[in-house]
A and B are shown apart, each in its own frame.
Chain A
Amino acid sequence: MIVFDNVSKFYGDVLGVNRVDLHIPPGITSLVGPNGSGKTTLMNLMTGLVYPNSGVIQVRGISPFAPEKLMKILGYATQYDAGPRGATGFDFVYTGLLLHGFTKAEAQRRAWASIERVGLTGAAKRKVAGYSKGMRQRIRLAQAIAHDPEVLILDEPLNGLDPLVRAETIALFRDYGASGRHVVLSSHVLQEVDVFSDQVILIANGMIVAEGQIRSVREEIHEHPSQFLLHCRNASRVASMLFEEEHIAEVKMAPEGQGLLVLTKNREAFSMALERIALSGTDIDGVMPTDENVDALYEYLIGGGR
């Protein structure tokens, strides 16, 4: 388990995270929240890069105040781009392994293996400073997994990756998660991580707003009113038909005459209503959810619903 017990962190007067209580089991856990919500602070607290002002953190029974023990079982791919100045991709991974105490031969073997695993073998001898954003992500991932850690922490690991590499990277997370290890990653897009995460922790303004298995978080999303944009030619007729439905909370004209903005309390019922309207001969050109992103959920969860 990774345990946060009433942990708070402030940067001067600025709140990092506030009174966080978490028990993260093995498997893939995604920390999801908008920029500045405290995801990186949580990860830095777990890895001892910053220290809590109050509370206790344990990572598989080890305190982040003991890096000599913790870092043997933990790999952290940070969001920071820089590595040792002038280092090649291989050097970056290899020197990290030397610090773990591996022999030169073993460090070389492991470095090449992890670089191959992230698909960077061809660029391993190039300087990290010349890498693209996606390549830097991958080399950081290679460095984090090179010593085969039990706990893998990844800060926005899918940023800048092309679809193929993204799929390979997700497969790697799944491998790790399935083998009983901890994989904790962050993202600001819920849809990006909900397909492969075992559990999700939603964080906003330094506080945990929801946590649990992805299904229960999804249900929380579905329970709160959802907004859709309907593209239709006869907006007033569609609006009047929708007002007859019980689950409709609000209908209003979309800005710039794009159609209607509809707020519904029940997605399934809304879907069926649209089907009935279409069958009645009223054209609906398109339906688009406008609040599927995680910000809308925060607004709902933090604001107590609309």
Chain B
Amino acid sequence: MTPWQQIWTIARLELGRVFFSKRSFWVYLLAIFPSVIFTGHAIDATLKARQWSGRGEKITAEVMNKLQTGMTDQEVLRLAGKPVTDFERTRRPRRREEDPDAEKQPEVRRYMMYFDGKRRVDLRFEDGKLVGRNTRDLLNFEEDRKVYAGMFQFFYLRLGVFFGCLGIFINLFRGEMLDRSLHFWFLAPVKREVLLLGKYCAGLIAASLIFGGGALLSFLAMALPQDPAELQTFWQTNGVEHAVWYVAAAMLGCVGYGSVFLAAGLLLKNPIAPAIVMLLWESMNGFLPDVMQKLSVLHYLQSICPVPVPLPSDMPTVMKMLLAPAAPSSAAVAVGGLLGVTALVLFAATQAVRRLEINYSTEA
């Protein structure tokens, strides 16, 4: 049996335990959370479209564009028909101090909303005159893609993949120590390094499928409800590429974080300590010199994300440094760097597993 066959045998035996471990069931929740959010958003948009289409006059985009400020409410009603919503609010103005006795007529404000099937326009009338209009897409692909990019980098990579890998990889050795079953593996005729790689592969396959799948699912949940024409254009231009990079980033996150937490599970008894240290390291990475930044998993992952997260221009520099990679690497450097960091960590882990002894009494 070659070492590769041994690695695959170990990975295969471990996979079931990794996938169906009660201890890390919450990992699935982390992975599907973004999909739930975007699916909810899509369902909400669909329900609203159906609800609004049934209520008022469904106007055309041309009519919507004709609704301009200065028109009276009656003109609007004649042009566009019955609105989806129509209500009035009466507002009594404050008396001025210099003329407290002056009688002020109450202001009547009327609000109407029309819907053309994709966009809604909110109209505000004062004293019967249209004074404000605000047009919004029910689903805005461009905006949703930015929201997805933000969610992916700030939640999915920093928290979802991070803690998910913590849950999966730290249990590969530490969990077996706690279950008092690690000796079963140590009594197999395999090198400790091979055992480590087999277990790492099991964790990696499981984590990659869970988080890569989660990334793809949430991406589709964001994209599929969009306007079919826009969507088709997106797929024909860079849609597939974006999806591939998001999935790749999630999987590479599992590669990097997985190796770190596997090593941590070998070296340390308490998983909380390495998790906090790692989280701090990853968070403060933007403040470090370039060389140090390259020792961060997140740096490489952010570098290969296809859509940069739009940060408000008025955001403090400190926050910008925390949230965005200071000097993104090219895709090739990012992938290569990440694999390099992973190889280093796995090498350290093989040294640790060679020295690892079975002493369950100290694990309680």
Residues on A facing B (Cβ under 8 Å): 11, 44, 47-51, 67-72, 76, 78, 80-86, 95-96, 98-101
Contacts and interface: CB of A to CB of B under 8 A. Distances in A.
A81 B183 CA distance: 11
23 contacts: A48-B186, A49-B187, A49-B358, A50-B359, A51-B357, A69-B189, A76-B187, A78-B183, A82-B180, A83-B181, A83-B184, A84-B17, A84-B181, A84-B184, A85-B17, A85-B179, A85-B181, A96-B184, A96-B188, A99-B6, A99-B188, A99-B189, A101-B1
Interface of B: 1, 5-6, 9-10, 13, 17, 21, 179-181, 183-192, 194, 355, 357-360, 362
Contacts of B181: 80, 82-85
Contacts of A95: 13
Given A85-B179, A98-B9, A101-B5, A67 B17 contact: no
Contacts of A72: 189
A71 B189 CA distance: 5
Contacts of B360: 80
B186 A100 contact: no
Contacts of A71: 187-190
Contacts of A98: 9, 13
B355 A101 contact: no
A11 B184 contact: no
Contacts of A80: 180-181, 183, 360
A44 B21 CA distance: 29
A98 B9 CA distance: 7
Nearest to B191: A68
**Residue of B21, B179, B186, B191 with most partner-chain A CB within 10 A:** B186
Contacts, number: 78
A303 to B, nearest CB: 29
User: Dominant SS at the B interface?
Assistant: helix
Contacts of B192: 67
Given A47-B187, A48-B186, A99 B13 contact: yes
Contact of A99 (B9, B179, B180, B358): B9
Given A85-B17, A101-B5, A67 B188 contact: yes
A99 B10 contact: yes
B94 to A, nearest CB: 71
A86 B18 CA distance: 12
A71 B357 CA distance: 16
The 3 residue pairs across chains A and B that have the minimum distance between CB atoms: A101-B1, A71-B189, A99-B188
Given A11-B359, A51-B357, 19 more contacts: A44-B357, A44-B358, A50-B358, A51-B355, A67-B188, A67-B190, A67-B191, A68-B191, A69-B189, A82-B180, A83-B181, A95-B13, A96-B188, A98-B13, A99-B6, A99-B188, A99-B189, A101-B5, A101-B6
A120 to B, nearest CB: 18
A99 B190 contact: yes
Contacts of A86: 17
Nearest to A98: B9
Contact of A68 (B9, B184, B189, B362): B189
Given A85-B17, A98-B9, A99-B9, A49 B183 contact: yes
